[in-house]
Chain A
């Protein structure tokens, strides 16, 4: 079975067809996806700013991380569930979209990011206890910030991709800027 047939079978299944055809379902799921960016993305953002020493400086980084862990997990599940509904309903269009592929790759990288900084940062109960943040925390915060912002940008750019020359044009535009 080719990817094209598989993709078409998935997007033709019940829930994804309903999703695609409904005038209310699709925007509701997309608005929920966006609401998650505001609330849980906001938590990720503030955690990263804390790791960079720019925000919430009176609260130890380990406390910020531990207190936002469960809400972030809940948010992540809602976010992914919405994302699967959104992507699945137009999978034929999305799977060849390079921004969609890049977004998935970057999401995988956030998983690797979490593993790399697991002990040193995210499950380090003593992080920032002495008032100073180690370099590893700053690196974790900065890379996480770049990853999530790139995911956001890819997400928006998926909608504007229409032909294979789009990326080439984007890079040409960017090189004109620099």
Chain B
């Protein structure tokens, strides 16, 4: 088997492709985290007038899945541009674990709480945890870019 050579990856040879992939990653982030945040805000009591968290979840869930697929696909492409650098970065590993926690939380507790239209203490806690998880993913992603000088 041929060893994988990053210098042949189009992301490293086509000048604008890496930046274009980053743009896709960021736009898809607005779609995935943005739609989850609409439900979170609703759980926190700052939602869309006359719509329950359950109704908002139902109305946005397809967009969330589409956004997650797009953001992760673009993310994997970015990862392929220099896998070892990402793999050995503690910040990147944090990002992956928190993202995993975010996805699991989103499709278990968060979903249950939103669909049950739970009472304020529980719904507010679920909304806050969800927002905190996803914002942590973004912060890790960004800090990775600033701390990734060496392995």
Contact = CB atoms under 8 A, between A and B. Distances in A.
Interface stretch (A12-20, A33-41, A104-112, A116-124): A33-41
Given A37-B26, A71-B41, A169 B15 contact: yes
B61 to A, nearest CB: 11
- The main secondary structure of chain B at its interface with chain A is helix
A42 B38 contact: yes
Given A38-B33, A170-B16, A152 B23 contact: yes
A146 interface: no
Interface in B28-54: 29-31, 33-35, 37-38, 41, 46-51
A94 interface: no
A73 to B, nearest CB: 13
A170 B16 CA distance: 7
Contacts, number: 102
25 contacts: A27-B143, A27-B146, A34-B29, A35-B139, A37-B30, A38-B29, A38-B134, A38-B135, A41-B30, A42-B37, A43-B37, A45-B31, A46-B34, A46-B60, A56-B60, A63-B48, A63-B49, A63-B51, A67-B51, A71-B41, A153-B23, A159-B19, A169-B15, A173-B15, A173-B16
Interface of B: 14-16, 19, 22-23, 26-27, 29-31, 33-35, 37-38, 41, 46-51, 55, 59-60, 63, 131, 134-135, 138-139, 141-143, 145-146
Given A42-B33, A45-B30, 14 more contacts: A27-B146, A31-B143, A38-B37, A38-B135, A42-B30, A42-B38, A45-B34, A59-B50, A152-B23, A152-B27, A153-B23, A160-B19, A169-B15, A170-B15
Interface of A: 23, 26-28, 30-31, 34-35, 37-39, 41-43, 45-46, 49, 55-59, 63-64, 66-68, 71, 149, 152-153, 156-157, 159-160, 169-170, 173
